[in-house]
């Protein structure tokens, strides 16, 4: 049987586990009728929850894992636990029993365990975290969101390659455009690392899709489909954008409860406002992917609900059914031979 | 006569100069009846414009400057122009004829000219750009917004000191709280530069106001009054936040024109919505300050209108009437003796 429809699930990770996880999987099982879920966690707790589901129980198998990686646990401690639901779910990918793993648990532990157990893909220097975000021209992909606080130009080029493939698969775009986040759009802006990464990308097999440097406001403007940056800047930009959306949302709530006229206005406009809320709903962007590991690893937000977790499962299923990792390996090979050709062409005669 | 009420104005800088500049100054002259403005620019163009104003003509003097630093001019070219309106306005500060200068022109040229003519304050390694931004708990100050793409820990400490004083003067806060922007709030997060800056700030004279590390979402949450970061991250965060506000604003416009019910709802709620729009109005945050130079230098957004320019004049007048530069010099002296004391206390006996 092909394992490309099998997802391993850490059923005990996250603030509302296991209830929100099981409820989210029940939603996901409707959307992905061919998917199979391997659930890892406390059997005594999980079995009665799964028994109550309509579809999930037919699409899932339960695997007992007695320990839990808690939210405040240090990655080094999590690494020593052999029987945690998170570890066992990752092991399932390593043992080829599942094509990917999803967890709403401790991000640091998930990254550390994934790197130790699954290892980084051949040809990729460092994994990166990617997710989608809203823009005026539809969803965009941004990476790295925090795994690599310092990056060299080769890392950024690899992020661009992985982000491009991620956008193809998750956003369904045939030729996603790519931008490097900088403090200005002119060629000379930024630092040596950014300028070197831009030079390599321009000459690369995805050079035609490379837009060049972009600025912070280009993220929500939708200037490009894929925003590439180091993990420090990406993490700050993602959280700053989320914070700005939250501020406006909170202010709007205050506006529409500020008096009887405003309340009446809200009642009339609420249908249209609901579409706005849905578009900016953080649950719609839940499911960050650790790209560049031997296996698909998806991190759900720890505080999300069933609907948010189901969205993260959507992302994971997109990644595994489209065989993201094999396609990245092909892209890397093409990139390397192109760079090799450029370097040979550019080297002086001896 | 004290020069602490005199502002030199580059009347020819910006997309809508000189009309928007003169109209903005006319608004500002009502708000600052004791201010005096030295206008630099083409006399033949400016004189008839000023003649039409009611109050500005009494509060201003015109100084002919024949050349204009254009928006796309390289700073090196601007540096060679001796008679530009921007240069002459900066010269007026250098010659002690004005306490500060304001320009809506080319940012790179303004910075280069200000550094060459006014020079960096003694004790400050590098100037930084600061501005205010909206948050759930009132306006906050953020710096550096793009002058220093790479910073060391001493730079960040100086930015904190200058930002704290800026917040006292412009926001009127008695003891502003300070946060260092990072990818997490725990002490060990980030890189060596951030950790070293945090350690110095904790032991500094403003240590009681130092909150520690903050994350991107803390900017709009208003977790601290002053957000300190390097120029790369600050520039990206500022523009990302502005982009997010713009996206929601554009979507709201679409929502409220999407049908007759939504339009009627808008009509009822428009009073309350106007307050929201005013709060997030970019013009209310116009006026970025180049801190750390021998003289107050304020950069207005190039595309702003009269109201936006008048707000930038507010910022400049706050800075010069409160004698920002003398107070920074005092703060630096206190900081240096405190650091010296710490270092001496921490050094081993020989």
**Placement of tokens 């910006």 in the chain:** B14
Residue in A with minimal Cα distance to B254: A272
Q: What value, to the nearest 5°, has the Cα angle with vertex A325 and ends A321 and A329? A: 140
Domains and CATH numbers, chain B: 125-291 (3.40.718.10)
CB proximity B175 to A under 8 Å: no
Is B221's pLDDT higher than 70? yes
DSSP A213-238: EE-HHHHHHTS-SEEE--HHHHHHHH
pLDDT given for residue B258 in this prediction: 87
Residues of B in contact with A280 (CB under 8 A): 248, 251
pLDDT given for residue B330 in this prediction: 87
pLDDT given for residue A145 in this prediction: 96
Alpha-carbon distance of B84 to B78, in angstroms, equals 8
Is B195's pLDDT higher than 60? yes
Per-residue pLDDT of B160-190, as tens digits, reads 999 999 999 999 999 999 999 999 998 888 9
Name which of A220, A243, A272 is nearest B220 (Cβ-Cβ).
A243
Q: Mean pLDDT throughout B84-94?
A: 98
pLDDT given for residue A66 in this prediction: 93
Residues of chain A with pLDDT under 70: 1-2, 339-350
Q: Mean pLDDT throughout B79-98?
A: 97
Is B350's pLDDT higher than 80? no
Nearest-neighbour CA in chain B from A144: distance (Å): 12
Q: Mean pLDDT throughout B318-323?
A: 92
Determine the residue among B179, B227, B236, B277 to mutate to test chain A binding: the one whose Cβ has the most chain A Cβ atoms within 10 Å. Answer: B236
Q: What value, to the nearest 5°, has the Cα angle with vertex B246 and ends B313 and B143? A: 50
Give A241's contacts (C-beta < 8 A, 6+ positions apart): A133, A219, A220, B216, B240, B241, B243, B244
CB proximity B257 to A under 8 Å: no
| CB-side neighbour CA atoms (13 Å) of A178 | 30
Are the C-beta atoms of residues B2 and B284 closer than 8 Å to each other? Answer: no
Alpha-carbon distance of A108 to A127, in angstroms, equals 13
Alpha-carbon distance of A23 to A42, in angstroms, equals 16
Other beta carbons less than 10 A from residue B90's beta carbon: 27
Residues of B in contact with A245 (CB under 8 A): 244, 248
Task: Give the closest residue to A282 by CA, choosing from A317, A334, A243.
Answer: A243
pLDDT given for residue A1 in this prediction: 43
Q: What percent of chain B has pLDDT over 70?
A: 96
Question: Is B221 within 8 Å of A243 when comparing Cβ atoms?
Answer: yes
In chain B, residues 126-155 whose CB comes closer than 8 Å to chain A: 134-136, 146, 149-150
Alpha-carbon distance of A31 to A23, in angstroms, equals 13
Name which of A136, A183, A217 is nearest B242 (Cβ-Cβ).
A217
Interface pTM (ipTM) of the complex? 0.91
Are the C-beta atoms of residues B139 and B132 closer than 8 Å to each other? Answer: yes
In chain B, residues 280-319 whose CB comes closer than 8 Å to chain A: 280
pLDDT given for residue A347 in this prediction: 46
pLDDT given for residue A25 in this prediction: 98
Q: Mean pLDDT throughout B102-127?
A: 95
pLDDT given for residue B346 in this prediction: 47
pLDDT given for residue A56 in this prediction: 97
pLDDT given for residue A275 in this prediction: 86
């Amino acid at each position: 049987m092909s394992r490309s429809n099998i997802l391993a699930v850490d059923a005990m990770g996250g603030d509302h586990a296991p209830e929100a996880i099981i409820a989210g999987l029940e939603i996901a099982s409707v959307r992905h009728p061919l998917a199979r879920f391997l659930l890892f966690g406390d059997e005594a707790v999980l079995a009665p929850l799964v028994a109550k589901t309509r579809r999930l129980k037919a699409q899932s198998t339960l695997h007992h894992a007695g320990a839990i990686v808690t939210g405040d646990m240090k990655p080094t401690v999590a690494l020593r636990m052999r029987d945690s639901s998170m570890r066992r779910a990752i092991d399932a990918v390593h043992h080829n029993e599942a094509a990917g793993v999803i967890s709403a648990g401790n991000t640091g532990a998930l990254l550390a365990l994934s790197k130790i157990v699954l290892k980084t893909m051949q040809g990729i220097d460092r994994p990166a975290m990617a997710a989608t975000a809203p823009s005026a021209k539809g969803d965009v992909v941004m990476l790295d969101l925090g795994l690599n606080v310092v990056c060299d130009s080769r890392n950024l080029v690899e992020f661009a390659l992985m982000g491009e493939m991620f956008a193809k698969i998750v956003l369904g775009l045939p030729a996603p455009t790519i931008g490097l986040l900088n403090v200005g759009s002119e060629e000379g802006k930024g630092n040596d690392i950014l300028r070197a990464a831009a030079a390599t990308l321009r000459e690369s097999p995805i050079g035609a899709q490379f837009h060049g440097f972009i600025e912070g406001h280009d993220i929500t403007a939708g200037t490009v489909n894929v925003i590439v940056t180091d993990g420090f800047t990406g993490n700050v930009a993602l959280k700053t954008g989320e914070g700005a959306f939250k501020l406006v949302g909170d202010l709007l709530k205050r506006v529409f409860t500020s008096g009887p006229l405003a309340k009446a206005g809200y009642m009339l406009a609420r249908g249209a406002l609901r579409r706005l809320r849905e578009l900016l709903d953080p649950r719609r962007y839940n499911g960050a992917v650790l790209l560049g590991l031997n296996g698909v690893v998806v991190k759900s937000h720890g505080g999300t609900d069933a609907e948010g977790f189901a969205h993260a499962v959507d992302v994971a299923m997109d990644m595994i059914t489209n065989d993201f990792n094999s396609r990245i390996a092909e892209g890397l090979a093409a990139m390397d031979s192109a760079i090799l050709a450029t370097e040979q062409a550019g080297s002086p005669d001896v």
